[in-house]
Structure 1
Amino acid sequence: MPPIGLRAGAATRICRPAPPSCTQMISASPTPLETDVTADAEQQRAIDHLEGPCLVLAGPGSGKTRVIVERFIALTRRGFPPEQQLVLTYTNKAAAEMRERAEAAHGPFAGEPPLTTYHAFAYRVVRDWGWLAGTSPAVRIADAAERWLHVAAVLEELRPHTLWNPLRPHDLMDPLLAVIGYAKQELVPPEAYASWAVQHLETCADPAERMLLERHREVADVYRRLDERYRRHGVFDHDDCILYAERLIREQPAVRSAVAGRIRYVMVDEYQDTNFSQARLVETLVADHGNVLVVADDDQSIYKFRGASRANLERFSRTYPNHVAIRLTHNYRSTEQIVDAAHAIIGGAGPATRIDKQLVADRGAGAVVEVWEADDGRDEVRAVATRCRELLDEGTPPNDIAWLFRQHVDMQPAMHALRDAGVPYQVSGGRGFFQEREIKDAFALLAAAEDPGDSLALLRCLTLPAWGVTNTGRLALVRATRDHDVDLATLIAGARIDDLDDIDTAAARRCVDDVVDLHALAQRDDVRDVFFAAMERSRYLGVLDEQSGAARMQVGANLNKLADLLETFADWSDDRHVSKALAYLQVLRDSREAGELASIEPIEDGIVLLTAHGAKGLEWPTVFIARCTAHRWRGRPPLSFDLQLPDELVPEAPPEGDAAIDEERRLFYVAATRARDRLVCTWAHRYPGSIGEEERTPFLETVVGAAARGVDVPATGAPMMRPARASGAPAPQRLSIAVSDLRTFKECPRRYEYQRRWQLPVRAGVRSWYGSLMHQVLHQAGTQRVAGVTVDGDVVAAQWHSAWDASRGPKGRHRDLRAHGEEQLRRYIASPAWSEAVIESVEEPVGLDLDAAHVRGRFDRVDRGAGGAPTVVDYKTGNPHDEPSLRRDLQLRAYAVAAAQRARADDVAVEFHYLHTGDVTRVVADRKFLNTAYRHLALTAQDIAIATREGVFPPKPSRWQCTHCDYRTICDEGIAAARESA
C-alpha cells in the first residue's frame, strides 16, 4: 500500500500506529540496556572499574565493544553524564555502532556525540578553538586530491635534486606523503627532521650515505614548505588536526578548561593502533585525573610496520605504572575449530613480538576449518562462487557471507565469478575509481566537449543510453570514417551514411548536436559548468538504467566524487578550462588515495567483498579468505628503501624480528578471526601474471593437518552460467536522515531518491556556498563570545576576509559578494540579535529519534532566553518569512522538538535571523505545537522508511518545482513540466 503523499492524486492512506507525543518522548525514562547474556567475571571487572588507568587486553570476540558501551552506561547511571565521558575509536562505523548501542540504553545525546573517532574529536577542537592559533573560520580537511596537488606544487617550486624528475614528476608523491604523515604521527616537526639530516651530513664521509642524507634533508624541506602552504590555504590534514588539538589543550588554559576540564573519563578502543601523537592527545586529556581505560590486542595491530602493538602497550605501562590490567580470555564469536586455527596462525610469530595468550572458545567445536587448493585462480574463484550460490539456495542470507582479500585488485575475478553464478554481492571500498565505466564515460564526454573532432571520445559517447547507437551502427561509422578520412563528428553531421539505419542516424546526430553545444559552453565557461551540462544532456550517463540499486548508488557516488575533484581543480587553478581539468585528472590517476572508489552504504543484501584491513571489527557466520599464497600473504617491502623516517627520530625503538612479516601475519589472523561458524582459506598454484608456481602462505603451515582440513578444488572448464539474482533483498537498516531530507521528501520523493539515495551530483550554487561561508564566520565569532571574548564589527570583518581567502567556491565570479558579506555581518553584529544575546552554545549537533528514523541536524546557535528558556537561532541568508508560514516549516518543527527534548521543556523558541535584512522571526513552541510537530515529523519519517523499503519514490510534479529542479533532465515528469512551461 503506498504511503501518503507519494502518488499524485492518491486517496489511499497508510495505516500507521499513532506515534507518541513529543511530551511522552521527553518524559520517557531510558530503556534498559539489553544483552543476550550477563557479562562474565572479566568483563564485569572492566565495566566496574572506576578510578585510575586501566588496560584491558581483549582478543577477537571477547566482548570489548560490550565492555566499553556497558561501562559508559554504568558511569552514566553512577552520576557521570555523557558530556563528562569520551570514547575514542578509529572508524566512523565503529563509532556509529557504539553510539547506537549506547543510545538504545541512554536515549539521544545532547550536543556532540561522546562516542566518536580521534579525527572527529580533534577536528571539533580545532574548529571551535583554532582561532586561538590563528586558523581561518573556513579551515577544512584537505581531501586526497588536494593534498596530492599541494605536494606537487611544492616539488615543482623547490625541484629538489634527489626527489625531482621532470620526466616523471609524480613517482615519489605517495611515498613523500606517507613519510611526512608518519613524521607528524610521531611528533617529528620539519625543523627536527632537517636538523638531524644536517648534523649527520656534517660528519658523514661515505658518498652513498651522504646521498641518502641529502634526500632526507630535501624531504624535510618539502615537509616544511608543505606545512606553510597548508596554512596559507587554510587547510589541515587529519594528522594536523591531532597535533593542533593536543597543542591547544596543553598550551591554552581556556581550551584545557573547556575541553579536558569537563571530561572525567576517557575510553579508547583498538589502543594497539594508536600512534604517538594520538597517545599524547589521550595523555593530555587525562593529565589531571588519569581516568583512562584502553582496550587493546597486540595481535590485531595491522596499520604500521614499526611494531606499534608492543610499543603502545609498553608506553602505557611506563606512563601509568600503577595501572590495573584485565584480560578478556573468552571468545564468544567463533567456534573452537576457528579459535584453534587462529591461535595456530598467530602463534607462529616470534615470542618477543607478542604477548602470549590463549583464548577459550565458548561455542563448541563447530565445523572444521578448510584450506582449498586449486590449479589456477579461475578455478579458485569459481569454486567459492559456486559454494556461495549453494549456501544461498540452502537459505543462508547473502550478507552472512564475506569474501576477504589481501588486495583490492583480487576482487575483480571474484566479482565476475559471482555474476556468472547469479550471486548478489556488495563491494566495500576498493581502488580503480578512474577505471570505472561511468568515470571513463564522463571523461569521454568532457574530451568530446573540448574537441568534437576527438573521434575516439565521441565514439564512446555514442554508446551512452541518452543516444544509444547500436554496435552495428558504431561499426558502420568506424568504417565510414576510415573510408572518407574524416573525423567522426564531421561524418555524422554530413551526408547520409551507408549501412546506418534511420534510428542510429538520428541518435548519432543528436549526440553530435549535444557535443557541439557542450563545446560552445566549454569555450566560455569553466569545467564545472561543462560537467553538469554534460550530465544533463546524457541524463547522468544513464545511471537509472542500472538494474541494481547498489549499482546506481555506486555510480552516483563516483560521479559525486568526480564533481568534488573538479571543484578542487577549480579552486586550485586560475585556468579552469576543460583541457586543463583533463590534464589535472590525468595527473591524479597516479595518486593512490584519489583513485579509491567513492564509499557507499549497502542498501541491498549481498555477499560482502572487502579487504582484510576493511574487515577489522566486523564478523560473519561464513568467511572465505582469497589467494592465500606466499606472494600475497608474506609481508610487503616498504614503499621505497630511502623514503622512510629514520629510526633515530622515532620515539619508540624499532621492534625485534621482521616487522613487515609480523604485521602481515597479524593481518591474516584478523581475517581468520572474522568468522563465526565457517572459515575457508583458498589458494591456487597459478594466477594471471604469476612467475612460476605459487606456494601456499607460510601462515597456514601450522594450521593444515593440525587445525584445518585440506580440500582439492576440481578444475572447471567453461564458466558457470546460472540464473542471475539481479540484486539482493533490501538490507535491513535504521534510517539516518538529515533535517533537510524531511523537507526534500515532502516536496518531492523522487528528488529525495536522486539526491539522497543515488547521490547524484548537482551544481553547487552560489547561494549555498555564500551561506555556508557566513555560517563558518558566525560559528567562530559565536565560539569567541562563549569564551568571553568581545566580538565587534572589526573582528568579524577580519574573520570574514580570512574565510573568504581560504574558501573554495565560485568567489572568482562573484567578487562583489566579498564587500556585501562584510556589510551584512557588520550590520548583524551591531544589532540586538547579536549584541544582547546570551549565547550558550554554537554549532551544536542534535539528534531526533523518531520511530522510523534518526534525524540529525545542527543548531547554529542556542541562546538563553528570558527565564532561562532555550532559544534556538538559525542563520538565514535568504529573504524573510513571516511567523505563520514558519510554523508550518518542517525544519523549524524539527528544531523545536529537538530543543524541547534537549532541555526537557514544554516551551521553547526558535528564531530565524535573516542576515540580508537584519530581521528576526520568532516562533514560540508550546506543548500543543510540539506534540503536533512531533506527529508530523514522525509521519514524514515513516513515509520515507516505507518508500525506502519498497523502493518506490514517485514524483510530485508541478510546473514551478520541476522547472527549477536540478534533476529535471532525468525525470520524465520533470522533462514534461519543462516542456509545458517552455
Structure 2
Amino acid sequence: MNPDQAGAVLHGDGPLLIVAGAGTGKTTVLARRIANLIVSKRARPNEILALTFTEKAAAEMEDRVDRLLPYGFNDVWISTFHSFGDRILREFAFEIGLSPDARVLSQPEAAVFLTEHLPKLGLKHYAPLSDPHRFIAALLSVFSRAKDEDIAPRDLLAEAEKSRSAAASPEEKEDAQRTLEVARAFQAYEDLKAKKGFIDFGDQVLLALKLLRGHPSVRGRIQERYRYVLVDEFQDTNYAQFELLKLAAGASRNITVVGDDDQSIYKFRGACLSNILGFRSAYPDAAQIVLADNYRSTQEILDSAYRIIQHNNPDRLEYRDGLNKMLRSHREPGPGIRCVRHESVFSESEAIADEIRGRVSGGGSSPKDFAILLRTNAAAEPYVKSLNLAGIPWRFSGNAGLYDQEEIRVLLAFLRAVDDPGDSASLYYLAASSLYGLKGSDCAVLTRSADKEKLPLGDVIGRAAERPLPGLSPGSAPILKEIRSDLERARELASKMPTGRLIYQYLESKGTLERLARSSDASSAREAQNLEKFFEIVKRFGHVCLYDRLHLFVRYLEPLRLAGEDPSSAEATLEENAVHILTVHAAKGLEFDAVFLAGLEQGRFPLSDRPDLIDLPESLIRDILPSGDYHIQEERRLFYVGMTRARKELHLSSSMNLGKKKQWKASQFISECLDKPRLAASPGPKPPLDALGIYSGGAGSAPASPGEGPAGSLVLPATAVEDYLACPLKYKFARVLRIPVLLHHTTVFGIAVHEALKFYHLARRDGRKFKLAELLRVFESAWRSEGFVSREHEERRLEEGRKVLTAYRRKEERSRRRPALVEESFRMTLGGPAGSAAIRGRWDRVDMSEGGSAIIDFKTGDVKSAKEAGKKAAESSQLALYALAFERRFGRLPDRLTLSFVKSGLEGSVAPRPEFLEKALARTEEAVAGISRRDFPAKPGFACRWCAYEKICPAIK
C-alpha cells in the first residue's frame, strides 16, 4: 500500500472521508480497513456494517475481505442499502405497525399495482382518457424521488396547498393544481400499499429511517450492534440514505465513507451530490484522505480526464475544499489518445471493427482487451453489426436489453399471438423464428394472401394448414398445422392457468428446455439465464396481479416497459474472450487495455436534456443545486468515467452523419478533454459491396466463447454441498444454467412454514407474545397458489400447514426455551487442495443457555420415526457446516445439532464430534473440487422420478 492508502486503512476511531479518484484502489482500501479492524481486535466481524449499491459490488467486497482475513472467516454484514433497510424493518416491524411479512414491490410490480388501482388515485391531468397509462412511469419516478429526498405525502400536500394559495397567474394556479393532484395520488398509493401489506424499494430505506428516528430503543440496539460503519461509492447516496447512515453510526461516529464527486453519475436514481460535498458539514472534525495514485491508466489519459472534469468547477470538492485531485499514474506511457471524426456512423463502426481485427490478427491482442463504450443501449446496433462482419466475438452489457434478446422476443410474440388472434405481426415473427422455421418464401405467400383477402394472418395459416395455398413449399403444411395446433391449445389453457405455467408448458413442448439442458456452449447458457430472468418477471407479476392470466400479463407488458422494466440480459464476464460493448454506466468499476468511446456527437453524448414529466417542487429538494448546468455537469462526469476505464489507450470517435439529413457536431467534451481538437481524418469510404456487409448479421451472430471464472471466487450456499453430491447434473441445471422450473407444492408449503416460524421465533427471542392468529396470517400471506394438483389439494395442504404450526406453537408455549439467534446469516471460507470456497448460509434457530447451545434446522419433509430423523441428522453435511460456522463466530462448537421435522414433530440430533465434522469436510471438498472443475455427471436413481428436471434430463432418456 502507498502511504495514503495505509493512512486510510489504519485510521482510528471517528469519521473519515476517503476521496478516491478513479483507479486508486478504493475497494482494496475498504476491504483492508475492514480486515484491519478485525485483526487488530478493535471490532468483531459482526460489529461491522459495510454498505454499497449493488449485489455484485457487495459480493466483490465479501470476496476481498474473505481473502484478507487470516482465519478465513468473514461475518461482516456487507450488503446494499436496501438490504440493510429491509433487515431492520423485518426485525423491528412491530414497532412501526408494519406487517413482518410485508412484500417488497419491484419497480415493474409497482407499475402493475399502480395500473390496477389507477381509478382510485383521483387523477385527471395525469390519467388522460386518450392514454390513461401514459404517466404511470412518471408517477412512480416522482414517488421514488420524494422518498429519496425524505419527503412524505403530507409534505408534498402542504407545499401544493401553499403554492395554490400564493398563485397569482392562471399558469401558477394550474401548476399548483397539478402538484396537488400528484400529492393526493402519492398519498393514495401509500395507503393502498399499506392496505395490501406491500412496500416498495424506497420504503426499505425511508421506513428504516423513520423507525430509527422515532424509536430510541431500536436506534440504540442498531448503534450498539454496528460499532463501525463503512460506505462505498458515497457519492451515489441519496439524502434519506445519508440520514439513515448518521443514525446508524450514532454518537461513536465511527463512519468511513469512500467516494469521488467526479464519478457521481446516478442523479437519475436519486443520488445526492451534496452528501459527499457536505460530509464535513455533518462531521466538521472528520479526517480527510485523498487517494491520487492511479494504478490503471497512463498519465496522458489521466491528464485529459482531469482537464475535462475541471470544467465542472466551482461545483467540485477539489475546488471547494482546496484539495489536489490530479491523479498520478504508476503505469508506463502507452499509445495515448486518438481522436477520429468519421463520415457516418457506419464508417465509424467499421473503422473500429477493422482496428480491433487488425490488432487481434496480428497476435498482439485478444478481443477481451477492447471495449466499446456508448452513452445509451440504443446506440449499440451498428457496432454489433460491424463486429459481426469482421468475425470478432462480442458481448453486450447494458443496463437494459432483456426484451431485445431473440429468445425473449419469440416468447413475447407467442404471448401476443395467443392473446390476440388479429396480431399478424407477432404471429409472423413467431412463425419465422427458430421454433418453427417457416421459410421466408412461405411467409411471403401467406402475408400476401392475408393482405389480399383482408384477413388476419392466423386465419390464413389455419386455412393453409388444411388446403395449401399456391406457392407454398411442400414442407410447409406440417409446420402450419403445428403453429395452428400450438396456438389453439394455448388459447384453451390461457384462461385456466397462470402465465408462467402456460409459458413453461409451451417451452417444454417445443423441446427448448431439453435442448438447453443438453447443450454446453456459452450461448445456450446465456439463453437459459435470460429465460430465467423473464420467468422472474412473470412470477412477480403473478404475485401482484389479482388474476394471473396471460391476457392480463400481455395487457400490462407495455406499462411494465414504460416503467423501466427492461432488465439487463445475462451479463458477460471479463474473462470471456470477446470485445465488450457497454454503456458507460454499465462500465463503472471496470477497466480495459483499450477503450473506444464512440458515438461522441453533441446531443448524443452529452445527451440533450430531457426534463422529467413530473417534477418535485424545488423548495422541497434538499440537494444543493450547482451554479453551473447540472445536466451537462452530470454528462461530463459520465464522460470522465468512460475515459478512466482505459488502461493504455483511449480512442474518441464521432460521426457527421447518423442516417438523417442533419449533420451532427462533435461532442463538446472532445475539445474539453484535449489541448486542441486533434481530429484525425476519417478513413476513406469502403467499396460499395464491402459497405453493404454491415447488414450481413444481426445481434448475437458472433457469440463469445465461454470464459473461466476467476480462481478462488467460488461462493456456495451451505445447501449446495448436498445438492451437488446428490446429483451434479441437477446442480448444474439449477445453479449453473438456472433452467426455469415450475414451483412444486412442497416448495410452496416449506417456504410458507419457514416464514411463519421465523417471525414466531423473532417474537419469542424478543419476549413478545405472538398470537396464533398472527402466526397463521404470516403463513397464509407467504403462501403461493402454484404447483398444486387441484384446488382441493391446495386447501388440504393449507389446512395441514395450519395444523402443523398450531401444534408447534402449542409445544413451544409450554417450553421455557427462547431462541438466541433467528435466521442469522453467516459466511466462512474453507480451504482445501481444490481451492477455497466461501460458504454462506443461515441458521434457522440457535438456542444458547446454561444448559448448552444448539443449532436447530427446520424441515417440512416426511420422516416416519425418530430413528430415521436421527439418521438424517447424522448424515447432514449442512449441519456440520453450520457447526463450523458457529465455532468460527463464538470460538467453540455447539453442543447439539438438530433437524426438527415440524410435520411429524420428530427431531434428530447429533453432537459435532471430530469424525462427524471430518466426514462433512471431506464431502465439502469433494463438492468444491467437482464444481470448480465444472464436472457435472448425472447420478440416475430412484429419486429421479421426483426431480423437477426429469422430463429434460438426458440421463433418463
Using the size of structure 2 for normalisation, the TM-score is 0.89
2:3 is aligned to: 41
Percent identity of paired positions between Structure 1 and Structure 2: 28
- What letter is aligned with 1:855? I
1:13 is aligned to: none
Taking the aligned partners of 1:307 and 1:466, their CA distance within structure 2 comes to: 42
> What per-residue deviation string (whole Å, max 9, x for no partner) do you get for residues 735-789 of structure 1?
3233444444334333333322222221122321232122222222222222232
2:948 is aligned to: 966
SS of structure 2 residue aligned to 1:737: strand
2:672 is aligned to: 702
1:678 is aligned to: 649
2:815 is aligned with 1:835 = yes
Relative to 1, partners in 2 of residues 1:775 and 1:546: Cα closer, same or farther, differing over 3 Å?
A: closer
- Partner residue of 1:404 out of 354, 370, 373: 373
How far did 1:102 drift? 1.1
How far did 1:198 drift? 0.4
> What per-residue deviation string (whole Å, max 9, x for no partner) do you get for residues 108-157 of structure 1?
88786423221221111112222322222322321121111223234332
Taking the aligned partners of 1:494 and 1:635, their CA distance within structure 2 comes to: 54
Q: Is the Cα contact below 8 Å between 1:131 and 1:780 reproduced in 2?
A: no
Q: 475-484 or 401-410, which moves further after superposition? A: 475-484
SS of structure 1 residue aligned to 2:535: helix
Relative to 1, partners in 2 of residues 1:787 and 1:549: Cα closer, same or farther, differing over 3 Å?
A: farther
Taking the aligned partners of 2:13 and 2:401, their CA distance within structure 1 comes to: 49
How far did 1:616 drift? 1.8
- Partner residue of 1:804 out of 780, 783, 789: 780
> What per-residue deviation string (whole Å, max 9, x for no partner) do you get for residues 571-605 of structure 1?
3444443323322224423332x123345463733
- Partner residue of 1:377 out of 339, 345, 352: 345
User: Could you say which structure has the greater relative contact order, defined with CA pairs below 8 angstroms and 6 or more residues apart?
Assistant: 1
Q: Is the Cα contact below 8 Å between 2:863 and 2:869 reproduced in 1?
A: no
Taking the aligned partners of 2:13 and 2:729, their CA distance within structure 1 comes to: 54
- Partner residue of 1:732 out of 691, 709, 714: 709
- What letter is aligned with 2:18? V
Taking the aligned partners of 1:648 and 1:483, their CA distance within structure 2 comes to: 61
Q: 59-68 or 875-884, which moves further after superposition? A: 875-884
- Partner residue of 1:660 out of 610, 631, 637: 631
2:559 is aligned with 1:559 = no
Taking the aligned partners of 2:520 and 2:630, their CA distance within structure 1 comes to: 43
Gapped regions of structure 2 (runs ≥ 5):
320-324
> What per-residue deviation string (whole Å, max 9, x for no partner) do you get for residues 509-552 of structure 1?
34444444333333533333322211211123786399884433
Q: Is the Cα contact below 8 Å between 2:15 and 2:254 reproduced in 1?
A: yes
2:225 is aligned with 1:262 = yes
2:756 is aligned with 1:777 = yes
> What per-residue deviation string (whole Å, max 9, x for no partner) do you get for residues 307-359 of structure 1?
96762234322221222222223222211111111011112223245523322
Taking the aligned partners of 1:903 and 1:51, their CA distance within structure 2 comes to: 25
1:387 is aligned to: 355
- What letter is aligned with 1:737? L
Structure-to-structure mapping, 1:745-784, within 5 angstroms: 745-784=724-763
2:844 is aligned to: 860
Q: Is the Cα contact below 8 Å between 1:828 and 1:834 reproduced in 2?
A: no
1:787 is aligned to: 766
2:410 is aligned with 1:441 = yes
1:537 is aligned to: 509
Q: Is the Cα contact below 8 Å between 1:434 and 1:589 reproduced in 2?
A: no
Structure-to-structure mapping, 1:81-160, within 5 angstroms: 81-106=44-69, 113-160=76-123
Structure-to-structure mapping, 1:300-319, within 5 angstroms: 300-304=263-267, 311-319=274-282
1:846 is aligned to: 826
Relative to 1, partners in 2 of residues 1:282 and 1:525: Cα closer, same or farther, differing over 3 Å?
A: closer
- Partner residue of 1:925 out of 909, 912, 916: 912
Q: 669-678 or 722-731, which moves further after superposition? A: 722-731
Q: 673-682 or 731-740, which moves further after superposition? A: 731-740
1:6 is aligned to: none
2:860 is aligned to: 876
SS of structure 1 residue aligned to 2:933: helix
Taking the aligned partners of 1:332 and 1:111, their CA distance within structure 2 comes to: 27
2:262 is aligned to: 299
Query: Between Structure 1 and Structure 2, how many residues are aligned?
Result: 926
Q: Is the Cα contact below 8 Å between 2:146 and 2:616 reproduced in 1?
A: yes
- What letter is aligned with 1:539? G
Q: 765-774 or 803-812, which moves further after superposition? A: 803-812
- What letter is aligned with 1:685? M
Structure-to-structure mapping, 1:495-574, within 5 angstroms: 495=467, 504-540=476-512, 544=516, 549-574=521-546
SS of structure 2 residue aligned to 1:859: strand
Gapped regions of structure 1 (runs ≥ 5):
1-38, 977-982
Relative to 1, partners in 2 of residues 1:374 and 1:924: Cα closer, same or farther, differing over 3 Å?
A: same
Q: Is the Cα contact below 8 Å between 2:47 and 2:227 reproduced in 1?
A: yes
Q: Is the Cα contact below 8 Å between 2:23 and 2:296 reproduced in 1?
A: yes
Taking the aligned partners of 1:707 and 1:649, their CA distance within structure 2 comes to: 42
- What letter is aligned with 2:841? G
SS of structure 2 residue aligned to 1:925: coil
| RMSD (CA atoms) | 3.2
Structure-to-structure mapping, 1:330-729, within 5 angstroms: 330-356=293-319, 357-393=325-361, 394-450=363-419, 459-463=428-432, 465=434, 467-471=436-440, 474=443, 487-488=459-460, 490-491=462-463, 493-495=465-467, 504-540=476-512, 544=516, 549-592=521-564, 594-600=565-571, 602=573, 604-640=576-612, 643-688=614-659, 690-706=660-676, 710=680, 712-717=682-687, 718-719=690-691, 726-729=703-706
Q: 466-475 or 181-190, which moves further after superposition? A: 466-475
Relative to 1, partners in 2 of residues 1:469 and 1:904: Cα closer, same or farther, differing over 3 Å?
A: farther
2:322 is aligned to: none
Taking the aligned partners of 1:716 and 1:82, their CA distance within structure 2 comes to: 62
Taking the aligned partners of 2:738 and 2:918, their CA distance within structure 1 comes to: 33
Q: Is the Cα contact below 8 Å between 2:263 and 2:637 reproduced in 1?
A: yes
2:908 is aligned with 1:916 = no
Q: Is the Cα contact below 8 Å between 1:138 and 1:807 reproduced in 2?
A: no
- What letter is aligned with 1:727? A
Taking the aligned partners of 1:475 and 1:945, their CA distance within structure 2 comes to: 50
How far did 1:404 drift? 1.2
Taking the aligned partners of 2:581 and 2:645, their CA distance within structure 1 comes to: 13
How far did 1:697 drift? 1.0
Taking the aligned partners of 1:930 and 1:865, their CA distance within structure 2 comes to: 23
Taking the aligned partners of 1:237 and 1:942, their CA distance within structure 2 comes to: 41
1:4 is aligned to: none
Relative to 1, partners in 2 of residues 1:397 and 1:808: Cα closer, same or farther, differing over 3 Å?
A: farther
Structure-to-structure mapping, 1:21-36, within 5 angstroms: none
How far did 1:653 drift? 3.6
Taking the aligned partners of 1:406 and 1:585, their CA distance within structure 2 comes to: 26
Taking the aligned partners of 1:961 and 1:566, their CA distance within structure 2 comes to: 29
Taking the aligned partners of 2:735 and 2:216, their CA distance within structure 1 comes to: 42
Q: Is the Cα contact below 8 Å between 1:397 and 1:605 reproduced in 2?
A: yes
1:942 is aligned to: 929
